């Protein structure tokens, strides 16, 4: 049985990915900060006759990704599928944002994701088999006033993942970049943008639906997958519209409404 390592598996999309991998008989390594929530998820998924290992870690605390890698190596757990899903956003003007929020986003969304990829990819290449899915966002296709750092981190994830997918082509390993749009999870509340136009008025997608799109994308080895036709259309339109207009619209959808 193949083993999937999923970061941010205690809730939201990561939890849904875990359920899908368990359904299809994958052993799991689940990572997040909340050990109690991970234990609950593990108990639920073990009922499907898969092995579930939980590791409670804050991935923003260096050198956590290396610690995670070393622990799995010492237990001879080979990771066949890496799902770099853990991520968070913070709402507000950059100048007013705390250093914890600014650098925490960069640390989790960019550095931890890059480090885990750096650690696990060479082993996959040596085995000529493996799958990596990096969870970006439709936010990565344009600048995002009021969430400037978050949008920029997701632009990095898209660029990095598409470049890697090209580098590893024909190697037996695939790299998928998955881009959800607004989705009903704990994300908006943590980000502080649950009152934004995009979440309150334009509407967010169902988390199970979105996770299924991501699961299919990684299992098919697709390079880039955007969940939802409307999100795909918006992502395409940003390529042709003037940048200033794209940025203004991006701000408009992030603004809070009553």
Q: How far is the CB of 192 from ligand NAP (least distance, A)?
A: 12
Of 150, 151, 156, 215, the active-site residue reads: 150
Nearer to ligand NAP, 1 or 67 (CB): 67
- Rounded CA-CA distance 88/90 in Å is 7
Q: How far is the CB of 128 from ligand NAP (least distance, A)?
A: 28
Tell me which residues touch ligand NAP (CB under 6 A): 7-14, 32-34, 37, 58-60, 85-88, 108, 135, 137, 180, 182-183, 185-187, 190, 204
215 part of the active site: no
Nearer to ligand NAP, 35 or 172 (CB): 35
Nearer to ligand NAP, 13 or 165 (CB): 13
Q: How far is the CB of 175 from ligand NAP (least distance, A)?
A: 16
Q: How far is the CB of 171 from ligand NAP (least distance, A)?
A: 25
By annotation, the residues acting in catalysis are 150
């Amino acid at each position: 049985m193949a083993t999937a390592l999923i970061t941010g598996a205690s809730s939201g999309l990561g939890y849904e990915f875990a359920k899908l991998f368990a359904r299809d008989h994958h052993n799991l390594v689940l990572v997040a900060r909340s050990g109690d929530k991970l234990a609950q998820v593990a108990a639920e998924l073990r009922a499907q006759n898969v092995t579930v290992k939980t590791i409670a870690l804050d991935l923003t605390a260096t050198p956590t990704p290396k610690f995670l890698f070393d622990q799995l190596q010492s237990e001879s757990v080979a990771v066949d599928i890496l799902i770099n899903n853990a991520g968070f956003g913070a709402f507000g003007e950059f100048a007013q944002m705390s250093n914890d929020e600014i650098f925490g986003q960069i640390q989790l969304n960019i550095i931890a994701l890059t480090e885990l990829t750096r650690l696990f990819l060479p082993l996959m290449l040596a085995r000529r088999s493996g799958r990596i899915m990096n969870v970006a966002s439709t936010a990565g296709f344009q600048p995002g006033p009021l969430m400037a750092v978050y949008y920029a981190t997701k632009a990095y994830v898209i660029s990095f993942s598409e470049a890697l997918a090209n580098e590893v082509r024909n190697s037996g390993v695939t790299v998928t970049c998955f881009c959800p749009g607004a989705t009903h999870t704990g994300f908006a509340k943590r980000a502080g943008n649950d009152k934004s136009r995009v979440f309150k008025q334009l509407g967010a997608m169902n988390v199970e639906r979105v996770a299924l799109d991501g699961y299919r994308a990684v299992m098919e080895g697709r390079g880039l997958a955007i969940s939802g036709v409307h999100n795909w259309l918006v992502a395409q339109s940003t390529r042709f519209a003037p940048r200033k207009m794209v940025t203004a619209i991006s701000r408009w959808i992030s603004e809070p409404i009553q």
